[in-house]
Amino acid sequence: MAATALDLRLEPPGGPARGRRWAEEPPPGPDHDDALERLERAHARMGEATFAFLSEVGRAEAKVAAREEGCRNLAHLLS
């Protein structure tokens, strides 16, 4: 069985052959499709979480900028 750089798994020790060896993954099937679908959903959730985080950072930065501007305006009025 020829091993490739991609899609490899390690067989358990003392598996079909003695010792450890690398073998190709089984061809895509229902399990592969389910795993791919779960991976795509997880990727989408990560994208949504990243967007939400960056939105919160943007809102926080806007609040800080507004406070700084307010402080500058107040300092100008008091001087």
Q: What is the pLDDT of residues 15-68, one digit of tens each?
A: 555 544 556 666 667 777 888 899 999 999 999 999 999 999 999 999 999 999
What is the pLDDT, as a whole number, of residue 7? 45
What is the pLDDT, as a whole number, of residue 26? 62
What is the pLDDT, as a whole number, of residue 1? 46
Given a contact cutoff of 8 angstroms between Cβ atoms, the answer to whether 50 and 43 are in contact is no
Kindly provide the residue ranges of all beta strands, DSSP E only, lying in 1-79, ordered along the sequence: 8-10, 22-24
For residues 16 and 73, give the distance between their C-alpha atoms in angstroms, rounded to a whole number. 77
Q: Domain extents for the chain?
A: 38-79
